[in-house]
Amino acid sequence: GFVHLDCAYSYGNEKDVGDVLEQFFKDAKLKREELFISSKLWSSFHAKDDVIKACQESISNLKVDYLDLYILHWPITIASGHNNLFCSDDVKLGYNRERIAECWRAMEDLVEKGLVKAIGTSNISITKMERLLQTARIIPAVNQVECHAYLQQEKLVQYGRSKGIAVAAYRSLGIPNPGMEMPVLLEDPVVCHIAQKHFVTPAQVLLAFGIASGLATCSHKNQE
């Protein structure tokens, strides 16, 4: 019953997803218009001329004609050829408001060219969003951020709603990265109690929490 595919260049699996989609379309199990497919512009492609190339590559890999949503993955830029934010300092270009504004203008061109239906942001703060809106022709349709019961992002969510920007929550199950000494939300006593009371899983409780909060809710790619 899920129809939203939340993809990204940096996930490294768009070709695999595209192969599955191609077969589903061929077998008439799905129509393109029945799916909402998003992808994300990686941080090494923020230069104006790189934006359209990166978008076209994702579209080609996914074997579709357009994307429903294309997201600026991070407002932080890294040097070309690097696919990991945890890289050495010499390839980190960091945040620059003029560079991001130019990148956003190139993303706006994607909408005008019909390659994407909407554009959005991810991992961007209120301050950086305010700066972006000063020059943006198209207001981001969505801002995708980490958001769950332990990190509810109330100010950011309220700000987005005041600007007409939907907030999408990732890592909704709250699972930290391996090696992080943090409480595991799926094992939280309150969450487990609610799950037992309603004969559902803790994951279902947490996803329902996000939906009830008015968020587009999805898990992290490592939580599947």
Positions marked active-site: 11
Helices 154-163 and 126-133 cross at an angle (nearest 10°) of 20
Phi, psi of 192 (to 5 degrees): -65, -35
Q: Among positive and negative, which fits the CA dihedral 36, 62, 122, 55?
A: negative
Q: How many CB atoms lie within 10 A of CB 15?
A: 11
Gap between the Cα atoms of 99 and 189, Å rounded:
45
For residue 108, the SS3 value is: helix
Report how far apart, in Å, the C-alpha atoms of 217 and of each of 16, 115, 171, 188, 203 are: 23, 25, 9, 19, 12
Gap between the Cα atoms of 224 and 219, Å rounded:
7
